């Protein structure tokens, strides 16, 4: 029975038998309402456990009956959850009726696959987004993270990646909304229904207004579903998480509620362990994979924040979003210097790709070094070689922008998807000087280099006509 309640923390006493294990789930009866799920987090003595609520504790009282569930929380998995919206406990949230009672289920807590059983992530995951495919290629069966502060375009980029995968990706998609607004969940459901891909997608949400325990365990629920498709049905899975920082934040809230002393910058002392428990389960096993794309909020644009550093240590591709680039109208605002990928290796992507990527980075880096001089003295004070590099770097930065399909309603511009070969060819042409006498605007918000050429020729014809 319950002996103490303090917000989302509930102490439960057992009169007989062994205490339930850490991470086991319990069920609390709450009168005429559905039972409340809690998860064991600590053993206080030989008869009492401290648990954290996964659902609202409104209406609970001391003395209420508590039942063991015999292990960790189990959630429904398999084909029955495709096209559905679930919460952390696997309850339906889309108003389309309950799941079948005989639906298979799996525990949300599970050990990661053994290291010897993991496959190598070396196959490219083509996105059609120029700057990502060129400078921070994603790996099939790998982990990619989009790092950025508030309002620089993380969610838009993740949504565009979902849209880009729809056409060419035939596996299962699992979306985990961690600490999302309910509006975002409804928009996602509507967009996926409209695109006709909801039948291959599972949506799992732990919303902002839910207890920290629910937001903390939503990624585990998503992983349990993804692992079932990978291991039992041998299907490739695309796992999208927005936002992993809120998972860390929820863990910090739980840690404080449990009375643990905070660590660096107020984070939980178990930060590294919690992130590792999540990230190490995202892996390829045999010839099937779970590919993760994660949005990560960077508090106050501080990339030295312990949560950001810990998450970054687990990912294969880092896509860093820059507030300065967003302010200059460069979208997607991906920083070409700070973004990186372990796949940018001649043995994986080929020597030409690596050579072009390095040349693009070198030109943009040289431009940034000279920006203060240009601001103070103007372009005229630069030497001929420096001026040429700066002009080409500015054209490269504009060429790496592109309109997104998910923003068509706001910009009125049709979204573009560009094959990697087209991106490499366009960047090589700019570096070779083919666009030196073009207006920079011709390269801004276009798809291929040929489209930019047509835009430049049309602009010249208009100018000649006037």
Catalytic residue among 181, 190, 264, 460: 181
Q: What angle do CA 359, 365, 369 make, to 5 degrees?
A: 145
Catalytic residue among 180, 210, 294, 451: 180
84 is catalytic: no
Q: What angle do CA 124, 128, 129 make, to 5 degrees?
A: 100
Omega of the bond leading into 63 within 30 degrees of 0 (cis)? no
Report whether 218 contacts 176 (CB < 8 A).
yes
Helix (H) or strand (E) holding 50: strand 48-53
Pairwise CA distance, residues 69 & 108, whole Å:
13
Determine the 3-state secondary structure of 3 from DSSP: strand
- Using the Cα atoms of residue 423, residue 406, residue 150 and residue 295 in order, give the sign of their dihedral: negative
Pairwise CA distance, residues 375 & 390, whole Å:
13
Pairwise CA distance, residues 357 & 364, whole Å:
11
> DSSP class of residue 285?
B
Pairwise CA distance, residues 379 & 154, whole Å:
33
* Beta pairing class for 25-30 and 33-43: antiparallel
- Using the Cα atoms of residue 55, residue 59, residue 64 and residue 65 in order, give the sign of their dihedral: negative
Catalytic residue among 106, 154, 246, 453: 154
180 is catalytic: yes
Residue 374 main-chain phi, psi, to 5 deg = -65, -40
181 is catalytic: yes
Question: Which residues are the active-site residues?
Answer: 154, 180-181
């Amino acid at each position: 029975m319950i002996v103490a309640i303090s917000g989302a923390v509930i102490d439960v006493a057992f009169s007989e038998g062994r205490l339930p294990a850490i991470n086991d789930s319990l069920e609390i009866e709450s009168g005429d309402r559905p039972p409340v799920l809690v998860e064991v987090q600590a053993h206080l003595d030989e008869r009492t456990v401290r648990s954290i609520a996964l659902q609202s504790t409104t209406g609970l009282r001391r003395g209420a009956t508590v039942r063991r569930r015999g292990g960790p929380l189990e959630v429904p998995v398999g084909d029955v959850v495709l096209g559905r919206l679930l919460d952390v406990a696997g309850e339906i949230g889309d108003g389309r009726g309950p799941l079948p009672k005989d639906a298979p289920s799996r525990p949300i807590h599970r050990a990661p696959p053994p290291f010897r059983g993991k496959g190598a992530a070396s196959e490219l995951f083509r996105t059609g987004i120029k700057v990502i495919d060129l400078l921070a290629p994603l790996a099939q069966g790998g982990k990619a993270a989009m790092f950025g502060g508030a309002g620089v375009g993380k969610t838009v980029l993740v949504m565009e990646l979902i849209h880009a995968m729809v056409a060419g990706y035939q596996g299962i998609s699992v979306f985990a909304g961690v600490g999302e607004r309910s509006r975002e969940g409804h928009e996602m459901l509507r967009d996926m229904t409209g695109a006709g891909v909801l039948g291959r997608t599972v949506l799992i949400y732990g919303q902002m207004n839910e207890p920290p325990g629910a937001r903390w365990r939503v990624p585990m629920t998503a992983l349990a579903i993804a692992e079932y498709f990978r291991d039992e049905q041998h299907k490739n899975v695309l796992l999208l998480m927005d936002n992993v920082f809120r998972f860390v934040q929820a863990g910090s809230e739980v840690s404080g509620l449990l009375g643990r002393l905070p660590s660096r910058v107020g984070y939980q002392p178990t930060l590294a362990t919690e992130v590792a428990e999540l990230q190490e389960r995202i892996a390829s096993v045999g010839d099937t994979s779970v590919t993760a794309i994660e949005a990560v909020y960077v508090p106050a644009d501080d990339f030295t924040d312990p949560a950001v550093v810990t998450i970054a240590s687990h990912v294969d591709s880092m896509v860093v979003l820059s507030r300065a680039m967003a302010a200059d109208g460069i979208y997607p605002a991906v920083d070409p210097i700070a973004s990186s990928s372990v796949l940018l290796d001649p043995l994986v992507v080929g020597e030409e790709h690596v050579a072009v990527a390095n040349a693009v980075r070198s030109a943009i880096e040289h431009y940034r070094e000279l920006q203060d001089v240009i601001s103070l003295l103007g372009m005229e004070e630069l030497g001929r070689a420096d001026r040429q590099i700066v002009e080409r770097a500015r054209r490269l930065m504009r060429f790496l922008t592109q309109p997104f399909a998910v923003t068509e309603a706001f910009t009125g511009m049709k979204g573009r998807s560009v094959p990697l070969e087209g991106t490499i060819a366009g960047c090589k042409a700019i570096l070779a000087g083919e666009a030196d006498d073009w207006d920079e605007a011709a390269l801004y918000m276009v798809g291929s280099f040929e489209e930019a050429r047509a835009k430049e020729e049309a602009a010249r014809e208009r100018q000649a006509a006037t």
